[in-house]
Structure 1
Amino acid sequence: MADQPRAGFPFSPPPAAAAEAAGPPPGTTTAAGGFPGMSPARPAAAAPVRQPAPPPVPRAAAPAAPAPAAPAAHRKAGRKGGDTLWERVRFEVTDAVTSGALSERLIRASADVEAPITTGRRIVVLGTAGGAGTTTVTAVLAKLLGSIRQEAVMAVDATDQTGLLLQRLGAGGAAPLSFLMQQFRTQPVRTLPDATTNTAACGNQVFAAARTDVRSLADSPLTLAEWTDVSSTLSRFMAVSIVDAGASPLSRHAGALLETAHAVVLVSPPGEDESLRRQSVQDALASAFPHLQQVGVTVQSRAQAATSGEGFLPFDRHLAGGGALQLSRLGSRTRIAATEAAGRALLAANRA
């Protein structure tokens, strides 16, 4: 919080100054050059002759204190954000020429994210191929939903391989999903603090848990019964629960997650062959889970020209870095496209 200006304290004049201003009291003599109340002056004695003080010996100048070291974040030259300088200038000019078209897109997308919901919505993020970017998309959607809605959002890494969702969300520590499931089975959950006891806080009202014991559970996927208990409990306290299901769209593991979901976000790489594969997965999911609302997101690579159409997430240097996600470092196009994807996913979940 910014420091508030202070008006100062009401100091009163020093006693000596006040007395001097008032003058000496009646009947009091004042010696020349003295203060009020002193006795009459005595004959002045001869003043001793003072020897001139020796000239000061010059001393070597003390070395200047070294300047404090800059924080690590500022010592790194060329700190990479989402857009290059040329891209930022180009989009600012474009936004000005088009009368704020980019800003209007962001406002509309944010309004979709803020749409009212009746109960906690459950969204599953599913990849059509390995390396499609499901963890990145899950992290971005969770962060945006938590920051715009200002309500509790739960992100779950339920992949059937070792995931990095907690790292992308900037979690401070481990939060095994097995601990959360055990708590829900054995202990009453009555409040939000109860529901988040075994989760990791990631900022912006985002909480997370991960299947860190994946290797021991790789051959025993989540069952529908146990996941139903977890997801229904989370929906009582979380505005949105978003689950990273990995890249096994037709596996038994994904089936348990999709059975209780309201919407699925299908993430695919760019390319014509990948588009055909995603269409095949969409048809299979529509047949197996007719209640599911589907949303498609294509994560573009550096080599591809950026596409601003619906369903495309442009390449972003910050996202490609693989570190903890910071919304402030996303590029303009990425921020808008990701917010639109979050809005479409939430609207689809509301229609279920």
Structure 2
Amino acid sequence: MTGSGGGDWQRDLVRELTDGPPPEGGVPHTSVPEPPPRAQTEPEPPPRTETGPPAPRPPRDPRVPAPAPESLPTIDPRLTIALGSPRPGDSAARRAGAGLRRLTASAGREVVEQSRYAEELQQPVTTGRVVAVTSIRGGVGKSTVSALLGRTFNHYRQDPVLTLEADAALGTLPVRMGAESVRWSAGDLARVLSPAMQLTDITGYLVPVADGGWLLPAGQGRVGAPLDVGTYRTVTLALRRYFAVTVVDCESLPGEVARTAMDTAHARVVVAPMTAEGVHGTRQVLDWLARLPHSALASTVVALSAATPDATLDTKVATAHLREPGVTVVPLPYDRHLAQGGPIHTAKLARDTRDAAVRLAAEVMGRAVRVR
């Protein structure tokens, strides 16, 4: 296109800006002189390489939402079908016998006991309480106990309850809590946390649990970088503002995150398998807790978990051995529903299992509230 008088308006504009005629091809002339040619005898300098740490990223604008990760199923759909129907925790004969025992037992004593547990569980808190759950090794029911505690706290309390997974080793907590899929992880949330966020903002990154409460997974069920101590501290310190109780399903001891969680929690649960070696190893953990700068035994409860109906270890002897350092021990009986794996359905639990879960949660809450 040409302007009035047949001139080229683009060339005229470039001429005004550069104070000179534009070169052929329409590339504007620059007043910066070209560097002189380098002498042939001067060697070319080697390419510059970065030897120091990378430049820090600029802080993320909290007004710009972070890209959402892909939502992934907690269990392969083909395995979900293979799970079958959930089994009741007790057999039909055992359920019938338990009903007869309840009819002949002292109803008044049971009511008093349940009322005491409910009172412990419903204690008001001024700041969020953190309960850390760990064990000496994996596969002893640590995530199962965490899920039972999270659901029990949520059932009895009116304020928000969070169950947080701090075990990135392909943990099973999302499955046990009944989450069908997970999207955001603890690491993702740590990168977007802001003091200006409200509870409604936080819950957008969490998984709602069917029976109530919220779940924050450590990952998406993939093998990857483990949850580090810095991320754990960032998330737990920030979320205490929003949740009255946070149950942390830690990695097994002596993992670094587990040791940090046990040292900083308001109350602790050590899950001990109902075996001779399991009880012996758990006793060593209790002796270690007693040597911490501030003894943690006063706020520690042991959950003695039976994973098989054929356990031969005497429960009374095992309990007495674990109680020697001065901790409370709550036996968790074998439960067919829990042994089946998959999501935990509270209505399917055996009566003894539900009672033990309530007692365990009450013991833990009472200790967490007393810690200042």
TM-score after normalising by structure 1 = 0.71
| CA apart distance, 1:79 | 6.1
1:321-343 deviation per Cα after TM superposition (whole angstroms, max 9, x unaligned): 11211211111100000110011
* Equivalent position of 2:191 in the other structure: 182
| CA apart distance, 1:107 | 3.5
1:133-160 deviation per Cα after TM superposition (whole angstroms, max 9, x unaligned): 1000000100111111132111111114
* Equivalent position of 2:245 in the other structure: 240
Aligned mates of 1:79, 1:165 — CA distance in 2: 17
Partner secondary structure for residue 325 of structure 1: coil
1:290-305 equivalent positions in 2, closer than 5 A: 290=294, 292=296, 293-300=299-306, 301-304=308-311
Closer/same/farther in 2, CA of residues 102 and 289 from structure 1, 3 Å limit: farther
1:259-286 deviation per Cα after TM superposition (whole angstroms, max 9, x unaligned): 3311110001012332221111111122
| Paired amino acid for 1:339 | V
1:131-210 equivalent positions in 2, closer than 5 A: 131-174=139-182, 175-184=184-193, 187-210=194-217
Closer/same/farther in 2, CA of residues 319 and 106 from structure 1, 3 Å limit: farther
Closer/same/farther in 2, CA of residues 161 and 263 from structure 1, 3 Å limit: same
* Equivalent position of 2:22 in the other structure: none
State yes or no: 1:281 paired with 2:290.
no
| Paired amino acid for 1:97 | T
* Equivalent position of 2:88 in the other structure: 81
Partner secondary structure for residue 179 of structure 2: coil
| Paired amino acid for 2:234 | D
1:23-50 deviation per Cα after TM superposition (whole angstroms, max 9, x unaligned): xxxxxxxxxxxxxxxxxxxxxxxxxxxx
* Preserved contact between residue 135 and residue 246 of structure 1 (Cα < 8 Å): no
1:208-287 equivalent positions in 2, closer than 5 A: 208-212=215-219, 215-218=223-226, 221-223=227-229, 225-247=230-252, 249-287=253-291
| CA apart distance, 1:77 | 10
* Preserved contact between residue 266 and residue 294 of structure 1 (Cα < 8 Å): yes
Closer/same/farther in 2, CA of residues 78 and 180 from structure 1, 3 Å limit: closer
Query: What's the Cα RMSD here?
Result: 2.5
* Preserved contact between residue 150 and residue 205 of structure 1 (Cα < 8 Å): no
Aligned mates of 2:341, 2:301 — CA distance in 1: 24
Aligned mates of 1:136, 1:79 — CA distance in 2: 15
Aligned mates of 1:298, 1:204 — CA distance in 2: 25
Partner secondary structure for residue 156 of structure 1: strand
| CA apart distance, 1:129 | 2.2
| CA apart distance, 1:348 | 1.4
Partner secondary structure for residue 162 of structure 1: coil
1:29-82 deviation per Cα after TM superposition (whole angstroms, max 9, x unaligned): xxxxxxxxxxxxxxxxxxxxxxxxxxxxxxxxxxxxxxxxxxxxxxx9996211
Partner secondary structure for residue 336 of structure 1: helix
Aligned mates of 1:226, 1:211 — CA distance in 2: 10
Aligned mates of 1:77, 1:342 — CA distance in 2: 30
Aligned mates of 2:351, 2:218 — CA distance in 1: 33
State yes or no: 1:318 paired with 2:337.
yes
| CA apart distance, 1:102 | 4.5
* Equivalent position of 1:124 in the other structure: 132
| CA apart distance, 1:176 | 1.5
* Equivalent position of 1:72 in the other structure: none
Partner secondary structure for residue 143 of structure 2: helix
TM-score after normalising by structure 2 = 0.67
* Preserved contact between residue 82 and residue 319 of structure 1 (Cα < 8 Å): yes
* Equivalent position of 1:93 in the other structure: 100
Match of 2:359 among 328, 340, 350: 340
Aligned mates of 1:295, 1:215 — CA distance in 2: 31
Aligned mates of 1:111, 1:204 — CA distance in 2: 21
Gaps spanning 5+ residues in structure 1: where? 1-75
| CA apart distance, 1:189 | 4.2
* Preserved contact between residue 109 and residue 336 of structure 1 (Cα < 8 Å): no
1:191-234 deviation per Cα after TM superposition (whole angstroms, max 9, x unaligned): 2112222110013431111122663213xx512x4433211211
| Paired amino acid for 2:149 | L
Number of aligned residue pairs: give it: 271
Percent identity of equivalent pairs: 26
* Preserved contact between residue 88 and residue 349 of structure 2 (Cα < 8 Å): yes
State yes or no: 1:327 paired with 2:327.
no
| CA apart distance, 1:252 | 1.6
| Paired amino acid for 2:185 | P
* Preserved contact between residue 157 and residue 209 of structure 1 (Cα < 8 Å): yes
Partner secondary structure for residue 138 of structure 2: coil
Closer/same/farther in 2, CA of residues 299 and 173 from structure 1, 3 Å limit: same
- The answer to which of 197-206 and 285-294 deviates more is 285-294
* Preserved contact between residue 121 and residue 241 of structure 1 (Cα < 8 Å): yes
